[in-house]
Amino acid sequence: MKELNGNGLIRNDEVFLRMNLAERVQHILLIVSFSVLVVTGLPLMFYELRILKSIFSFEKAFYYRGVLHRVAAIVLIVDMVWHSGYTILTRRGRDNFREMVPRLKDALDAVSLFGYNVGLSRWLYRKGILRAFFERYPFWKFENPPEYGRYNFVEKLEYLSVAWGSFIMILSGFFMWNVGLSLKMFPLWVHDIFVIVHGYEAMLAFLAIIIWHMYNVHLNPEVFPMSKIWINGKITGHELKTLHSLEYRKILAERQKAHGAGGAGTGLNPAQAP
Amino acid sequence: MKLRGPILRLVLPAALAVLWAAAPALAGRSDDDCLTCHGDTGLKTELGRSLFVDRAGFAASIHGSTGIACVDCHTDLKKFTDFPHSAKLEPVDCASCHDAAAAAIHESIHGRPHAGAAPITVRCKDCHGTHDIRPAKDAQSHTSPMNIPDTCLSCHLERVRTTLGPGYAGRYKQSVHFRALSKAGLSFSATCLSCHGGHSVQPMGDPQSKVSRRNIIPTCGTCHAGIERDYLEGVHGKDYVKGSQDVPVCTDCHNEHDIQSPEDLDSGVYATKVAAVCARCHDDESLARQYGLLTSRLKTFSASYHGTASKFGEIKVANCSSCHGHHGIRPSSDPLSSINAANLAATCGTCHPGAGKNFSKGRIHVVSEKTENRWAYTVKIIYIVIIGGLISVFLAFIAADLYRRMRIR
């Protein structure tokens, strides 16, 4: 793979803003509310576990569990409303969302990354097996890892899962909170589905976060022990080059254009930190 | 007996007055003569057993106060002419006056030789006392409701080993019945006698016993008449009357000696424990097969919010009896049943105000969602497939990523 070069226009230690303060606060609110919701909610899925009985040992424990769960739910709802408003009403929010829209490239990226990591195609190619096929369709050779834009397919999947999951959880949770209202509108068997959906969607979200998100932002050797973007919002030129090379190229192209046009410097990029 | 009491009280004093007048001629057999020696607190046998008779206690007793003299019960004293008499006296025979009670005792477990190495013989005085016998309605009597528990427990706490083990009777002291007796001072609260009978007490296994399976319903119903009526109208009571040995009677759910108020945390029918009690039969495969009952009642209840919350100690949520009732449980097919489709809105409405028709459009704790709520089942399957699929993909990606990193290094 050809090494990207900033040509002096992007230094490796230059700092770019990846998450602004509003986005970081939204993310922290999500962490807090999600964690509380999981801790106070999931026990209901595992009612047979003895250990849970010892957690809810003191009197009224179960009552406070419910109160906490609802408070956290309200925090999550507020967070979601804030984020939706932010996404619609601010320029940065709209730009981010445009980058977030899933495209065919994301599916190909996923296949490509997996194929690249496994390396089977490259091995076959070197051995001369299916050479004609690989010559004709070089994509399936998985010679290089995919290049990502501002958001890669992993991040898009996580973001859209949170959006969809929150919608499902808030909707079903609302009707579980207001059983009377729910059963005024729906027959009991529909309400039963709300309960099932709430539980299983929670399981899905919990497993996705604990396995997928935790690996990608914590345990992945590239960022271990933790990517600090969620705290300081910053990403360096070097990280941008290796992790989001398409965005890097875009910024580079803009700067080259500006440089060529008037040599006004590097301050034109809206994504750059002050 | 009942007739004899008043007669005795009239006739005996008169007769005794005559005797007392003739006492000097009868060579010193008046109570005073006896108490000359037996009034001494230090008087003992060679083995150290006290021979003291409390004059005031005897005078206040039913026998003393009606003028019955020492020699009327200790009849063999009449044979003696020299006092102090030395020989051991014969045991007092209460049956000479109390023949009906003696006959009842003779038929009872107390009157029969018990099985075992050292059969215990229960005598009148073991319960009623000796010189200090008072009528049961006297608060100081050994057999007054207030004192009966201690009287019975003087043997049944440790000495008597029934099939239920030692100390079983002592659990009565933890019961709501005893609390009513001792704390609230309600003398009509149930004591040992109320359930087991007095002279005619029989062991539980005996069909004649007041606490046998056959008789326990009317026995409890003596005080809890309304509950007995409800029970007999319910599905359990109807089978009980037919002689079924499998339906629960009062004690199956409420326990026996240590019966508690349902509001008490220790009660077997406390809100969070009801499900386990019902499940003893309603999760039993063989009973279910025999009577065509649904199984997995506890499992399916536990999976619901009601069941889960209840398991974690929440008492406000519905338990079995909240919806099904308790003493007068009826099958859902019965129009009077609280879980009949027509009554569900009202039943659910006790907790969910304004519960409407929609509460009955669906099934509660079903054995198989596959047949009872097809949509819920489908949703569940879809989720299981999605979760299983997605997590597998995630793990595969992580494995592939780690694999490449290992190879490169």
pLDDT 10s digits, B32-62: 888 888 888 888 887 888 889 998 899 999 9
Contact A241, A12 (CB under 8 A): yes
- Mean residue pLDDT of chain A comes to 89
pLDDT of residue B141: 93
Q: Measured between alpha carbons, how far is A84 from A205 in angstroms, rounded to an integer?
A: 20
A188: contact with B, CB 8 A cutoff: yes
Q: How large is the average pLDDT for residues B220-244?
A: 95
Which residues pair with residue B44 across a beta bridge?
A: B50
A130: contact with B, CB 8 A cutoff: no
Encoded tokens for B376:
């819920």
pLDDT of A33 higher than 90: yes
DSSP tag of B120: P
pLDDT of residue A99: 94
* pLDDT tens digits for range B348-361: 989 988 788 888 88
What is the least distance, in Å, from the CA of B254 to any CA of chain A? 24
pLDDT of B26 higher than 90: no
User: Higher-confidence residue: B9 or B71?
Assistant: B71
Chain B residue with minimal CA distance to A45? B303
Provide the 10 A C-beta neighbour count for residue B88: 8
pLDDT of A47 higher than 70: yes
Encoded tokens for B251:
């004690």
DSSP tag of A3: P
Q: Which of B219, B321, B308 is nearest to A48 (CA)?
A: B308
What is the least distance, in Å, from the CA of B265 to any CA of chain A? 12
User: Do the Cβ atoms of B361 and A188 come within 8 Å?
Assistant: yes
Q: Report chain A residues whose CB lies below 8 A from the CB of B314.
A: 62-63
pLDDT of residue A265: 45
Q: In this complex, which of B302, B362, B398 lies closest to A192 when CB atoms are compared?
A: B362
Q: Report chain A residues whose CB lies below 8 A from the CB of B366.
A: none
B391: contact with A, CB 8 A cutoff: yes
If you average pLDDT over each of A80-84, A233-237, B68-72, B364-368, which comes out highest?
A80-84
pLDDT of A36 higher than 90: yes
pLDDT of A80 higher than 90: yes
From A42-56, A185-199, B18-32, B70-84, the region with the lowest mean pLDDT:
B18-32
Encoded tokens for B27:
């060579």
Q: Which of B162, B152, B164 is nearest to B193 (CA)?
A: B152
pLDDT of B86 higher than 80: no
Q: In this complex, which of B353, B379, B403 lies closest to A197 when CB atoms are compared?
A: B379
Q: Measured between alpha carbons, how far is B203 from B210 in angstroms, rounded to an integer?
A: 9
* pLDDT tens digits for range A136-171: 998 998 989 999 999 999 999 999 999 999 999 999
* Domain spans in chain B, listed from the N-terminal domain onward: 4-90, 213-367, 375-408
Contact A167, A10 (CB under 8 A): no
- Specify the pairing of strand A234-236 against strand A15-17: antiparallel
Provide the 10 A C-beta neighbour count for residue A158: 17
pLDDT of residue A3: 62
Q: How large is the average pLDDT for residues B199-226?
A: 92
In the structure, what pLDDT confidence band is assigned to residue B327 with cuts at 50, 70 and 90?
very high
ipTM for the predicted complex comes to: 0.89
Three-class secondary structure assignment of A15-37: EEECCCHHHHHHHHHHHHHHHHH
Q: In this complex, which of B312, B354, B401 lies closest to A117 when CB atoms are compared?
A: B401
- Please give the single-letter amino acid code of residue B159: R
User: Higher-confidence residue: A55 or B148?
Assistant: B148
pLDDT of A232 higher than 90: yes
CB pairs under 8 A between A and B: 120
Q: In this complex, which of A59, A188, A212 lies closest to B359 when CB atoms are compared?
A: A188
User: Do the Cβ atoms of A187 and B361 come within 8 Å?
Assistant: yes
User: Do the Cβ atoms of B313 and A191 come within 8 Å?
Assistant: no
User: Higher-confidence residue: B48 or A96?
Assistant: A96
Q: Measured between alpha carbons, how far is B398 from B392 in angstroms, rounded to an integer?
A: 10
What is the least distance, in Å, from the CA of B344 to any CA of chain A? 12
- Mean residue pLDDT of chain B comes to 86
In the structure, what pLDDT confidence band is assigned to residue B186 with cuts at 50, 70 and 90?
very high
pLDDT of B409 higher than 80: no
Chain A residue with minimal CA distance to B351? A180
Q: How large is the average pLDDT for residues A114-123?
A: 92
A214: contact with B, CB 8 A cutoff: no
pLDDT of B20 higher than 80: no
Angle between helices A61-89 and A91-100 (to 10 degrees): 100
User: Do the Cβ atoms of B400 and A192 come within 8 Å?
Assistant: no
pLDDT of A89 higher than 70: yes
User: Do the Cβ atoms of B391 and A211 come within 8 Å?
Assistant: yes
Instruction: Check residue B259 and give left, alpha or beta (phi > 0: left; psi -120 to 50: alpha).
Output: beta
Which residues pair with residue A15 across a beta bridge?
A: A236
Q: How large is the average pLDDT for residues A21-43?
A: 94
pLDDT of A23 higher than 80: yes
Q: How large is the average pLDDT for residues B294-313?
A: 86
Question: Which residue carries 């569990």 as its tokens?
Answer: A65
pLDDT of residue B116: 60
User: Do the Cβ atoms of B403 and A187 come within 8 Å?
Assistant: no
Count of alpha carbons within 13 angstroms of residue A238, beta-carbon side: 3
